[in-house]
Amino acid sequence: MPQRGRDFVLVHGAGHGGWAWSRVRDILTAAGHRVFTPTLTGLGDRCHLLSKEVVLDTHIMDVANLFEWEDISDAILVGHSYGGWVISGAAERVESRLAAIAFVDAFLPRDGQRGYDLTTPVQQAAIDEAVASGDVARPGPTGAGLKIQSPADIAWVNARITPQPLGVSLQPVKLTGARERVKRKLYVRTPEFPQPVFDQAYESCKADPGWQTLVMHGCGHDPMIDKPMELSEALIGLTG
């Protein structure tokens, strides 16, 4: 029997779902790898679970429990955008099961930070107003806002985006350095999507010899949609 490839766990960003990784999943699966694309609680095909009880720890446990129930090990854990918060927290629980970790145009939080802390004053005011109104979610992004390149893909994304739970931005993340202890680490930046926080994360990783970095041009914030083959090749590079 041929040897099985590596385990990949691909975690989506705000307003997205496991569907966003479908092209990369197909490429990695065809290359012989076992691929998981969980949808976080309250989003995508699990939008019926949206409630005020959904917080960052909910999403972290979505991923940590997946590792446990599917016997995932020696894995490459990948997070896109908001997913950077989730995989940073999940690494604290599944560190021994990780061979590599990758942040795709993603937040790279420090211990004690909240998603709220890394938003603009205008975004913070909108969150404050939503919380005061008793809302449990904020609108998800649009395909155009994500700088997705193809009009057909913009329409495809717009039809699938769901609201993002507010509670995930209000809970501080608890980190002890598990993320940094993972042997192989990659940060991917897509500069056509303007986001100073991601620029800072990229520069920090580029200056750290413990990290690999990659800049992807000609795509928007969702390279798994705009350039799935290029992104897949970069992720496969972490199996080496």
Burial of residue 133 (CB within 10 Å: 0-12, 13-18, 19+) is exposed
* DSSP H or E stretch at residue 193: none
C-alpha 102/C-alpha 8 separation (Å) is 11
C-alpha 133/C-alpha 122 separation (Å) is 17
**DSSP result, 97-125:** GEEEEEEES---PPTT--GGGGS-HHHHH
**DSSP result, 45-66:** GGGGG--TT--HHHHHHHHHHH
Q: Which of 22, 51, 81, 169 is catalytic?
A: 81
Annotated active-site residue 81? The verdict is: yes
Active site residues: 81
